[in-house]
A and B are shown apart, each in its own frame.
Chain A
Amino acid sequence: MDTPQKIANGAKPWIEQAETPFIRISNLTKKFGEFTAVDNITLDIYREELFCLLGGSGCGKSTLLRMLAGFENPTSGRVEIDGQDMANVPAYARPTNMMFQSYALFPHMTVEKNVAYGLMRDGVSKSDAADQVADMLNLVQLSEFAKRKPEQLSGGQRQRVALARSLIKKPKLLLLDEPLGALDKKLREETQFELINIQESLGVTFIVVTHDQEEAMTLSTRIGVMDQGEIVQVGEPHEVYEFPQTRFVADFIGSVNIFEGRVSADATDYVRIHSQEGDCDIHVSHGVSCTENQKLWFAIRPEKLTISREKPRGKFNFVKGVIDEIAYQGNLSVYRIKLASGKIVRVTKSNRARHDGDAFSWDDNVYVSWDEAAGVVLAQ
Chain B
Amino acid sequence: MSKTNGISIGRRIFNRIGTYGRSLVIGVPLWWLIIFFLIPFAVVFKISFAESLIARPPYSKLLEWKDGLMVLKLHLSNYGYLIDDDLYILAYWSSIKVAFFSTLIALLIAYPMAYYIARTTERRRGVLLMLIILPFWTSFLLRVYAWIGILKTNGIINNVLMSLGITSEPIVMMQTNFAVYVGIVYTYLPFMILPLFTNLVKLDNSLLEASADLGASPITTFFKVTLPLSMPGMIAGSMLVFIPVVGEFVIPALLGGPDTLMIGKVLWNEFFSNRDWPVASAVAIVMLVLLIVPIVLMRNAQQASAGASS
A-to-B contact residues, CB < 8 Å: 69-71, 90-92, 96-98, 100, 102, 104-108, 117-118, 121-122, 149, 151-152, 165-166, 169
Contacts and interface: CB of A to CB of B under 8 A. Distances in A.
A117 B221 CA distance: 11
Contacts of A96: 213
26 contacts: A69-B213, A71-B212, A71-B213, A91-B213, A92-B214, A92-B215, A96-B213, A97-B213, A97-B214, A98-B213, A100-B209, A100-B210, A102-B204, A106-B211, A107-B229, A108-B309, A117-B211, A117-B224, A118-B214, A121-B215, A121-B216, A121-B220, A149-B309, A151-B309, A152-B309, A152-B310
B168 interface: no
B87 interface: no
Contacts of B209: 69, 71, 91, 100, 104
Interface string B279-310: 00000000000000000000000000000011
A127 to B, nearest CB: 20
Which interface residue of B204, B212, B213, B218 has the most chain A CB atoms within 10 A? B213
Interface of B: 204, 206-207, 209-218, 220, 224-225, 228-229, 309-310
Given A108-B229, A149-B309, A151-B310, A92 B216 contact: yes
A91 B214 CA distance: 9
A104 B212 contact: no
A149 B309 CA distance: 6
A165 B217 CA distance: 17
Contacts of B206: 100, 102, 104
B305 to A, nearest CB: 10
Nearest to B310: A151
Nearest to B207: A104
A73 B256 CA distance: 53
A107 B306 CA distance: 12
A104 B310 contact: no
B214 A121 contact: yes
Nearest to B216: A121
Nearest to B208: A104
A106 B207 contact: yes
Given A104-B209, A106-B207, A169 B214 contact: yes
A70 B211 CA distance: 12
A105 B214 CA distance: 12
Nearest to B206: A104
Nearest to A115: B214
B60 to A, nearest CB: 56
A70 B212 CA distance: 9
A122 B213 CA distance: 12
Nearest to A162: B210
B217 A92 contact: yes
Which interface residue of B209, B216, B225, B228 has the most chain A CB atoms within 10 A? B209
Contacts of A152: 309-310
A100 B211 CA distance: 11
A210 to B, nearest CB: 19
The 5 closest A-B pairs by CB, nearest first: A118-B214, A121-B215, A104-B210, A104-B206, A91-B212
Which interface residue of A100, A108, A166 has the most chain B CB atoms within 10 A? A108
Given A100-B210, A104-B204, 6 more contacts: A92-B213, A92-B216, A92-B217, A117-B214, A118-B214, A118-B215
Contacts of A92: 212-218
Which interface residue of A117, A149, A166 has the most chain B CB atoms within 10 A? A117
B12 to A, nearest CB: 45
Nearest to B218: A92
A165 B214 contact: yes
Contacts of A100: 206, 209-210
Contacts of B225: 106
Nearest to A122: B215
Contacts of B310: 149, 151-152
B228 to A, nearest CB: 5
Contacts of B218: 92
A90 B212 contact: yes
Which interface residue of A69, A71, A97, A169 has the most chain B CB atoms within 10 A? A71
Which interface residue of B204, B211, B218 has the most chain A CB atoms within 10 A? B211
Which interface residue of A96, A98, A121, A166 has the most chain B CB atoms within 10 A? A121
Contacts of A165: 210, 214
Which interface residue of B206, B217, B225, B310 has the most chain A CB atoms within 10 A? B206
A125 B220 CA distance: 17
